Amino acid sequence: MRLGTRGSALALAQAEELRRRLAAACPALAAPAQLETVVVRTTGDRVQDRPLSEIGGKGLFARELEEALLDRRIDVAVHSLKDLPSVLDGAFRLAAVLERADPRDALVTRDRLADLALLPESAVLGSSSLRRQAMALALRPDLDVRPLRGNVDTRLRKLDAGDYDALLLAQAGLQRLGLGEVGVAQPVERFLPAVAQGAIGLEIRADDAPTAALLGAVNHARSWLAVTAERACLAALRGSCVTPVGVLAEVDESGARLRACLILPDGSQPLAVERRGRPQELLPLAEDAGRELRRRATPAHLALLEN
């Protein structure tokens, strides 16, 4: 089985996590020759000098991996699921989701400050995410928020060099790189995570039943339910993976809860919805939440969604 991945340290760590889980679940795949990691360079990796929202969105991290699937150079595309569009081309399907890591955003500063409120006035905040930028400005309108691309190491070097006073990154990514103590995870009440943040998604060719069966052994049912609901909410809203929207679904023995928020890039006019119910009701509840957000959207929100 050939596992396709981007070449960043984080992407390779995620592919290695899949390799470990597959080898544990399917002993026949434990031999090194049975699982091959194939690095695929994507447009999102090559173009680092422009914001993602200007060059086509996070789908640019998936396009070349999908081409490699179609060309049969790889059998599985290993994604940070938050980077994968919520509606896939019919040639592909999401086959499995590994157990989700911490979905929260993390504040990273040189002094390990715990809260945006502790940053000095007009501090420079770096983030590549419109959602994070908007939610930060809603809390601190005085911040000088600047785009920041590149892998995690590059971003941390720019922080250390004094180019930025603070960064907002995914806590899951930091943990997977062994850097979990670098940042301070932020409450979801302030920073509602991106759709499927913290989850590793496994995309395959739609007609590849044997690979789907193998990947079923590593699928985490509760994570699958949560991220499928979040993606359904975004699809019903008709947003994309660069829309400033946060969605978080939580599932446990007592029930299911989904929260969603759409906000303008300057931090104004946040629209929030919440749904609660039984786990088996989560998917229709998520779709209903997305439709409600779209109904309540102002012309400014709609312009974002249709961009």
Q: Residue 284: what pLDDT? A: 98
Structural domains of the chain, ranges and CATH numbers in brackets: 1-99+199-219 (3.40.190.10), 105-185 (3.40.190.10), 221-307 (3.30.160.40)
pTM: 0.92
Structure tokens, 102: 């911490």
For the chain, 307 residues long, give each residue's pLDDT as a single digit of tens.
999 999 999 999 999 999 999 999 988 887 778 899 999 987 755 555 455 555 455 567 788 999 999 999 999 999 999 989 988 999 999 999 999 999 999 999 999 999 999 999 999 999 989 999 999 999 999 999 999 988 999 999 999 999 999 999 999 999 999 999 999 999 999 999 999 999 999 999 999 999 999 999 999 999 999 999 999 999 999 988 788 999 999 999 889 999 999 999 999 999 999 999 999 999 999 999 999 999 999 999 999 888 7
Q: Tell me which DSSP letter residue 33 carries.
A: G
The active-site residue, picked from 45, 75, 83, 105, is: 83
- Is 83 assigned a catalytic role? yes
Helical (H) or strand (E) element with 185: strand 184-185
Q: How far is CA 88 from CA 11, 55, 94, 221, 241, in A?
A: 20, 19, 8, 20, 12
- Residues 143, 133 contacting (CB under 8 angstroms): no
- Of 84, 81, 80, the C-alpha closest to 66 is 84
Q: Residue 53: what pLDDT? A: 52
- Of 120, 107, 125, the C-alpha closest to 183 is 107
Tell me if residue 271 falls in helix, strand or coil.
strand
| Continuous H helices in the chain | 9-25, 43-46, 52-55, 63-70, 130-139, 152-160, 171-176, 209-215, 221-237, 282-296, 299-305
